[in-house]
Amino acid sequence: MSDTRQINLHVFRHNPLDPASVPHLQTYQVEEAPGMTLFLALSELRERQDPSLAFDFVCRAGICGSCGMIVNGRPRLACRTLTQELPGDITLLPLPAFGLIADLSVDTGTWMRAMTERLQAWLHPADPTLDLSRIEQRMEPQLADEIYELDRCIECGCCVAACGTAQMRKDFVGAVGMNKIARFGLDPRDARSDADFYELIGGDEGVFGCMTLLACHDVCPKELPLQTQIAYLRRRMARAGA
């Protein structure tokens, strides 16, 4: 018996810059190979069948965060998803909440930049003239580990795509934004107080707009502890705003 099977990829196609383009699903057949990822299936498809297909990738290793897409209804990284884990019919859609570039390619960068600037998601040392690349400070290994854990976010956008609140509110910072504030809130080198963080995230566009749907936690490909961080941040901001 053959180990390989034909998989049917039903792929969203649309070019928003082409007035004649009508959004639709296009079906392709690809022969599955052992260990094949969705990224490899799409690459083969683009090389052998349809060079016009648009999708994003850089690292192929779950690091750059550029290959997020909706796979049979769930946000995932194409480069970290084995086709063997999926049924023979696979529907691929672009991540919602982000601007569509074409087909499966979306502009997460503009969204992430706007969120980062809005939340000032960078280190704010007490002395702003310090050279940030040279700040070294002793800290407990456990605290360093906790900060590192949250720093593993690759800004893939899967948590935003999975979040009902983010689909309804364009100004919602999403789990990715709340994770950033939680991260800087832990960092002893950051001079901001809880009152400062409350100004940034203590409204409906932040922790109090989150409806605890927790899809973010379920889909994060880096398995960040988003549920714990959001609950912790909410308690902290409730105290800061009281």
Residues that bind ligand FES (CB under 6 A): 57-60, 62-67, 77, 79
CA distance 207 to 62: 27
Using CB under 6 A, which of 37, 43, 165, 179 touches ligand F3S?
Answer: 165
Provide the token pair at 163.
């979040």
- Tokens representing residue 59 in the block: 């690292």
Q: How far is the CB of 209 from ligand FES (least distance, A)?
A: 28
The residue with tokens 């400062």 is 196
Tell me the CA distances in angstroms from 183 to 38, 50, 94, 190, one per residue in order.
Answer: 32, 43, 28, 10
The one among 30, 220, 230, 233 contacting ligand SF4 by CB under 6 A: 220
**Residue 165 has what DSSP assignment?**
H
DSSP letter, residue 18:
-
Question: Which residue spans within the chain are E strands per DSSP?
Answer: 6-13, 24-31, 68-71, 74-77, 89-93, 99-102, 105-107
Q: Which is nearer to ligand F3S, 65 or 174 (CB)?
A: 174
User: Would you call 226 helix, strand, or coil by DSSP?
Assistant: helix
Closest approach, Cβ 81 to ligand FES, in A, equals 9
Binding mask 155-194 for ligand SF4 (x = CB under 6 A): xxxxx---------------xx--x---------------
Report the C-alpha gap between 59 and 63 in whole angstroms. Answer: 6
The residue count for binding ligand F3S (CB under 6 A) is 13
* Near ligand F3S by CB under 6 A: residue from 154, 163, 182, 237: 163
The item of ligand FES, ligand F3S, ligand SF4, none sharing an interface with residue 57, based on CB under 5 to 8 Å by kind, is ligand FES
Read off the amino acid at residue 7.
I
Please give the residues from 121 up to 160 whose contact with ligand SF4 meets the rule CB under 6 A. 153-159
Smallest distance from ligand FES to CB 37, Å = 9
Interaction between residue 230 and ligand F3S (CB under 6 A): yes
Q: Which one of ligand SF4, ligand F3S, ligand FES, none is in contact with 67 (Cβ closer than 5 to 8 A by kind)?
A: ligand FES
